[in-house]
Structure 1
């Protein structure tokens, strides 16, 4: 007997609809986050970040930070991170919690293995970094959990003028942070920078690979940036203080234009 086409019990399940950029853009613009951590430390949500740091030939420090920031933004805006996409649930849960990132270093076979863990890799100049789809820290994929959190130090600074038309992520000149810590901070800043864009600008930025310029702010420029954050023309990252620095410290300020550039001290 042929099936009754009007029998709802035989209806096929609806196909998953791809997310729209507008949906993913709105999530970043509107998210509040900051919900309390679960009682079980292993259930705390975090985005793992993998920095490619070969032993023989280390990448340029600025390139590495740029790549880390771009990777986070690319992951957040990826079509798989919204709608019925496979990463939508973990991304929604993470954005609703305290935004935590953990930076690790990898080289050789360990770096190659990390490419098979769900996430997005960004390249900038001599450097590569991968942002991994967030999840409970107690359930981190073994290919990522085995990577060292320390040992991310690379000499150099992030001085000079911005080199892209994307957001500039200005680093607080009064704080000392390891490269791993700073990678997490600029990753957060690249997410917040979307709040300063309209949807069309954000989509163009995403299509271009979410380029950024991480730069050290001078003392004079930092004062300007704090004032800009206060009036909403820039946006600041305030650290929760779990590692390295005091709670509430402003670590990075993002702005979507080059502004006035570093001001002489």
Structure 2
């Protein structure tokens, strides 16, 4: 079984759940809750562009999952990532700079830099076991001002962020990280070889569509059909932070052929 197969297997059922059911964690023991820490490098003097930061976060999250150390059954990260993927896919985004950033770079994970913006996605683990190098970092204050990127290139996946929902950069970073994981899961389930994407460091584009374009992208009530016919997959949030349970935060789209 591939490391992300559980995501592909439950994708359609998750989208069809009633909104309140997406936040049902009554069966979870708080001591066993797992999350992937995502550390955004935000220096005080030169904060990075928001779009570049989100693109780095999206690539870093899937890079950890598909790294041979996680994807191979005998890899040193495999058990940690597999246990996390089988449960609720939680991510916690924090910000770091200076010596604190240097400290988290020593922890197991993958750093991706896009346009001067760096994000390190760490190997997921139990929240109660979060290393002190991470737990001391702030979650609040991770927002970045909106920017106006160029239209996305046609040869990369595009992650379309819901234009009707306000999210901090930290929240959006977690959501686009979910999106690339789902995209990879369904892509692999269809038999795709992701070697070329891996060689390109899982490059993708993050954009905010118009409300009309968002409505066109949304998979609606037939997520399986939307994937087969339009190559789109949606992230539906459990509503633990910032957004209401059941909110579709991101729609990821496969590269468009020229």
> Please, what TM-score do these two structures have when normalized by structure 1?
0.83
Q: Structure 2: which 5+ runs fail to align?
A: 15-21
Residue number among 93, 115, 129 corresponding to 1:139 in the alignment: 129
Match of 1:70 in 2: 59
2:152 match: 162
The equivalent position to 2:254 in structure 1, one of 253, 256, 262, is 256
**1:210 partnered with 2:202:** yes
Give the paired residue count: 239
Query: Residue 202 and residue 53 in structure 1: after superposition, are their counterparts in 2 closer, same or farther (change >3 A)?
Result: same
TM-superposed CA distance for 1:189, in Å, is 0.4
> 1:23 aligns to what SS in structure 2?
coil
Does the C-alpha gap of structure 1 residues 87 and 24 become closer, same or farther in structure 2, counting only changes over 3 Å?
same
| Unaligned residue ranges in structure 1 (runs of 5+) | 1-21, 261-265
**Secondary structure class of the residue paired with 1:92:** helix
Whole-Å separation in 2 of the counterparts to 1:171 and 1:186: 8
What is the distance in 1 between the residues matched to 2:137 and 2:4?
31
1:77 & 1:97 partners in 2: Cα distance?
Answer: 17
Residues 189 and 81 (structure 1 numbering): CA distance in 2 closer, same or farther, change over 3 Å?
same
Query: Helix, strand or coil for the counterpart of 2:2?
Result: helix
Q: Which moved more, 1:219-228 or 1:105-114?
A: 219-228
Please list the CA deviations of residues 170-228 of structure 1 after superposition, one character each: whole Å capped at 9, or x if unmatched. Answer: 00010000000000000000111111465444221012100010000111111111147
1:24-49 C-alpha deviation (Å, 9 max, x unpaired): 46566446698956654232110010
Q: Is the 8 A contact 1:157 1:216 kept in 2?
A: no
- Quote the residue 1:183 is aligned against: 173
- Which string of whole-angstrom CA distances, capped at 9 and with x for unpartnered residues, describes residues 117-157 of structure 1? 11111110110001010111110011111110111111123
User: For 1:217, what is the secondary structure of its paired residue?
Assistant: coil
Residue 117 of structure 2 corresponds to which residue in structure 1?
127
Q: Is 1:85 equivalent to 2:90 in the alignment?
A: no
Structure 1 residues 259 and 175, CA gap change in structure 2 (3 angstroms)? farther
1:50 paired residue among 36, 39, 52 = 39
Q: Pick from 223, 236, 239: which aligns with 2:237?
A: 239
Aligned to 2:19: none
Taking a change above 3 Å as real, the CA distance of residues 37 and 88 of structure 1, as seen in their structure-2 partners, is: farther
Structure ID, larger Rg: 1
